[in-house]
Each structure stands twice: as C-alpha cells, then as structure tokens.
Amino acid sequence: SSLFVYPTKIIIKTCGTTQLLKSIPPLLRHASLDLGLTLSSCRYTRGNFIFPRAQPFPYTNFQNEVVYLEESLPAALCYRKASVMPSKTPSHAWHVFSASTQNTTCRFGDSDDDDLYTLEICMTELDRDLARNFFRRPGDDKNGDSAGKEMTELTGISQINPRALICDFAFDPCGYSMNGIDGDRHSTIHVTPEDGYSYASFECVGSVYDDREEVVRMLKKVVQVFRPATMSVSTTCASHEAWTRVAGALEPLGFKCRSCAADEFPAAGTVVYQTFVDRR
Amino acid sequence: MAVSGFEGFEKRLELHFFGDDPKNMGTLGLGLRLLDFDSIQEVLDEVQCTVVSAVANHYFDAYVLSE
C-alpha cells in the first residue's frame, strides 16, 4: 500500500481489507484546522475484489461505498458521479466515484494539468516463475528494506523508469511494494505473488506530451516483470489521447484488447477502462 | 465463506485541496506536506495501515505502507 502527499493533493492506495474511506474525516479536519486548506475534489477507484466477502462494510458492495463517500464529503463538492465501468469478463469491472466543487472535466479544475494522465494497471494470474521472485528466501537474514532492494534489482523493476528514485519493501513471507519518485511524478507497484490469486498493480503519472516510445518501453518492461494472463488498464486524463497509447503498446507484446469503456467524471476528466488478455 | 487469501486489488483515494489564502500553503508552498507525522499516523490508524518506508523530493512525499 502507498501514500503520496503533494502540496495540494493526497493519494492513498491500499490493498487487503483496509478501511481506506475512514481516512477522509481526519484528513479533512487536519487540512482545514492545521493548514486552512479546503477539499476541492475527490476521486475513488477500484477494480473487482478477488475475495469480496472478506471485505468489511462498506466495501461489501460499491453502492455502500458510494453512500459512505457521499456522507463523508462536504456539500460544497456538489458535482458527483459514480459508475461501474464494465468489461467483457464479469470478474473485471472498474468502479469510479468522483466529486468536485466544479462542474468541469478538466483535471481538478486546474487546466494546467490537462496534459497529465494517471495510469492504473491491475494484473492477475502472474507468470508463476516470475511471481516466485517476490517470495523472501528463508533465512535470508535481510530486513524488509534490504530484501525489497534485492527484489527491485533482481526483477528488473528498477528499469521500468531508470530515472526514478525508488523506495521499496519486501514483506514476509512474500509480497512487495515500491514507490518511485521522478520529479513531480509518482509511480507505485504492489505485488501479491501467491499462486491461485496472484496480483500486481502498476500506477504512474504521464503527460500526453511525453515521447510516445517512452510509454511503450515502460509498459513493455512492466509486462516482462510480471507476464500476467490478464491486465486491466484505467487511464484518467482530461484529453482523449492518453489511452490510445496503451493499446498501441500492449498489442505488439502479445496482448489482445478484450474491452474498452469510457466515461466522463467531474474533475477527473475522461476515464478509459481497457482489459487485455495474453494471446498465448 | 470462501477460503480467503490476501486481497491484492487496491482501493485508491485521491483528494485535492485548495487554500483561499496563499499563506495556507506555507512559506515554501508545502501545503499538505506541512502535516505533522502524528496527524498522518492518525489517518493511517483509521485506515489500519502503518508506514514501513518513506522517501521525498522537492515535489512530494512518498510512503510505503503495511496493512
């Protein structure tokens, strides 16, 4: 799981059965009382849980999450939208809730950021041999940090964005998380390698002005590290240009695009949700 | 109850803030980065997470969390 704190933006991304939405009241309180800052927009996203019945309320179903969000957010965020974006496979859908003080699809009311996009990739059925790289070696007399560094190098994750400064951690007996920082752009990877429910996520921020080949190279590296049987990719961007780069990058790597859904959300812009399967 | 393993799929929350007065952003424009660690830990206690590693640069702070 990861937390990113920018001057005017906070991103929390947690796995397991964590109570993520309970962070909203204390965050709003501290931002307001300690710093005099006011919430302008909120975006909540998630895929489909592998073990939905293990989730506590309100994560038992998306309607409950939306009610919880509606009740937690100030009335000033009056432009709100919730949607479950479908795919061709029932096990894959993308849940999006967005709320803003402005009825605009440019990102968070700041047109300066209109070129930026967020990529949220969810990968399942990882290649078994590659997933094994994310298990601690018994008696490795390493701690989470040093074992994490070893995994980052061994798996090639350090090559996904060679410019990024990486903060990594390996969990015992298995599992891995890393955050990358490259200028004002974050990236993050979380891995659950256990066979039968193996999962890895990759998230990063890009710009439609970035070199097109850079996205292709980066996605190619992500696929090489995990070789998943299925991938879903959510692209959130004010412009409609970012998502086409994803399909263009993955199909030459042997992935077939199975579905593509798009929708507009206040302050988030356009969310495009694509699912891919490995043709092999 | 189906036998459960560890849930890999994440929940993701992104919140954006603004200040009426530039002063709110602090002298160096750090804004939310001025929140003290106790406040962040209080938030993470609600979420049921704790910090296991952290790194920062000129633009933002990044924390790796454990559930």
pLDDT band, very low/low/confident/very high, at B60 (cuts 50, 70, 90): very high
- CB nearest to A196's CB, from B5, B11, B57: B5
The pLDDT tens digits of the residues spanning A4-53 come to: 999 999 999 999 999 999 999 999 999 999 999 999 999 999 999 999 99
Whether residue A106 has pLDDT greater than 60: no
- State ipTM: 0.95
Residue A252 C-beta-side C-alpha neighbours within 13 Å: 10
The pLDDT tens digits of the residues spanning A253-270 come to: 999 999 999 999 998 889
Partners of A14 on chain B (C-beta within 8 Å) are 10-11, 47, 49, 65, 67
For tokens 């709110």, name the residue.
B24
**Across the interface, do B57 and A13 touch by the CB < 8 Å criterion?**
no
- Are A19 and A56 in contact by the 8 Å Cβ rule? The answer is yes
pLDDT band, very low/low/confident/very high, at A55 (cuts 50, 70, 90): very high
**Separation between Cα atoms, residue A207 and residue A118, nearest integer Å:** 9
Report which secondary-structure segment, H or E, holds A38.
strand A37-46
The pLDDT tens digits of the residues spanning A143-158 come to: 999 999 999 999 999 9
**Separation between Cα atoms, residue A239 and residue A106, nearest integer Å:** 8
Hey, is A80 helix, strand or coil?
Answer: strand
pLDDT band, very low/low/confident/very high, at A103 (cuts 50, 70, 90): confident
Of all residues in chain B, the one with the smallest CA distance to A26 is: B43
Burial of A27: CB neighbours in 10 Å, binned 0-12, 13-18, 19+: buried
Pick the residue of B1, B4, B17 with the most A CBs within 10 A to test the interface with A by mutation: B17
**Across the interface, do A37 and B13 touch by the CB < 8 Å criterion?**
no
Hey, is B54 helix, strand or coil?
Answer: strand
Partners of B32 on chain A (C-beta within 8 Å) are 5-10, 31, 35, 37
* Rounded mean pLDDT, A234-248: 83
Residue A194 DSSP label: -
